[in-house]
Amino acid sequence: MSDLASDEARLLARFGHRFRAGEIVFAEGASGTDAYVLHQGRVRLSRHIRGVERSMSTVKPGDIFGEFAIFGDAPRSCTATTLTEAVVVVLTREALLPLLSEQPSVALRLISQLARRLRDTEDRIETTFIPDHDSRILRVLLALADTNRPHDGATERAETVAIPLSPIELAIRVGIDLGAVKVVMQRLRDKKYVRLTSDSIELLDITAMRKLYTYLGEKELLRA
């Protein structure tokens, strides 16, 4: 067992907590000093904007969330709700801060995740400048394909990649209404670019999708 796996097993045994599907882990505006590591299941992060609840992101196993409560006294900036039954490692401020110095792998994971979130935020901001829904969705799918494709030679060049992503999660990433996302995805499915399941999207021809994305971009430039 690797050091990282050993660290996670110890954390789970000491701080693990089970949540039922639909439970609120923490609520927007509430005070808190705990951070969370999702071990199993899925958790949705959402916040109210002008009185309407908006989904921000979906937490997957291995992700840390709610960590800003550790470093300040501001109220929770969002609500965390379990989408499925979940097992979560709950870390208090008193427990986490010494842990970061005692177990460097935990600190490295936290730093890596914060850096990834910053990159994701920058990508989402850039994506919102693309007016065409098809291009916006293709951009996100191709970026996720690069992330989910194994980098080991032959598989790195694979034309088919499965992305563990639901339509709701895709809508969150691209910043488009779910109904509009479904229309675009059905169009891509009908043209054999993708295969859809309830919780994943399989890209069937990445090269063809890149060509389509380039074509749509050139078309937009000519229109402008």
User: 130-223 in CATH: which number?
Assistant: 1.10.10.10
Within 8 A by CB and 6+ apart from 1, the residues are 9
pLDDT for 80-131, tens place per residue? 999 899 999 888 877 777 777 777 777 777 777 777 777 777 777 777 778 8
Cβ(110)–Cβ(97) under 8 Å? no
Given pLDDT bands bounded at 50, 70 and 90, which one contains residue 208?
Answer: very high
**Which of the two residues, 172 and 182, has the higher pLDDT score?**
182
Give start-end residues of each CATH 2.60.120.10 domain in the chain: 3-122
Q: What share of the chain is helix, strand, coil (3-state, %, to 5)?
A: 50, 25, 30
Token pair for residue 91?
């870390």
Q: Is the pLDDT of residue 190 over 50?
A: yes
Degrees to nearest 5, angle at CA 59 with 107 and 30: 85
What is the CB-side half-sphere exposure of residue 192 using CA atoms within 13 A? 4
Cβ(57)–Cβ(68) under 8 Å? no
- pLDDT at position 139 is 92
Given pLDDT bands bounded at 50, 70 and 90, which one contains residue 1?
Answer: very low
- pLDDT at position 149 is 67
Give start-end residues of each CATH 1.10.10.10 domain in the chain: 130-223
- CATH assignment of 3-122, given 3.40.50.2300, 2.60.120.10, 3.20.20.80, 3.40.50.300? 2.60.120.10
Distances (CA, A) of 224 to 59, 113, 129, 166, 214: 38, 38, 14, 33, 15
- pLDDT at position 35 is 86
What is the CB-side half-sphere exposure of residue 220 using CA atoms within 13 A? 14
Q: Is the pLDDT of residue 4 over 60?
A: no
Given pLDDT bands bounded at 50, 70 and 90, which one contains residue 136?
Answer: very high
Given pLDDT bands bounded at 50, 70 and 90, which one contains residue 210?
Answer: very high
Within 8 A by CB and 6+ apart from 115, the residues are none
- pLDDT at position 187 is 95
Average pLDDT for 152-171: 72
Given pLDDT bands bounded at 50, 70 and 90, which one contains residue 224?
Answer: low
Task: State the alpha helices, DSSP H only, in the chain.
Answer: 3-15, 68-71, 93-102, 104-128, 133-148, 167-174, 178-190, 206-223
Cβ(189)–Cβ(196) under 8 Å? yes
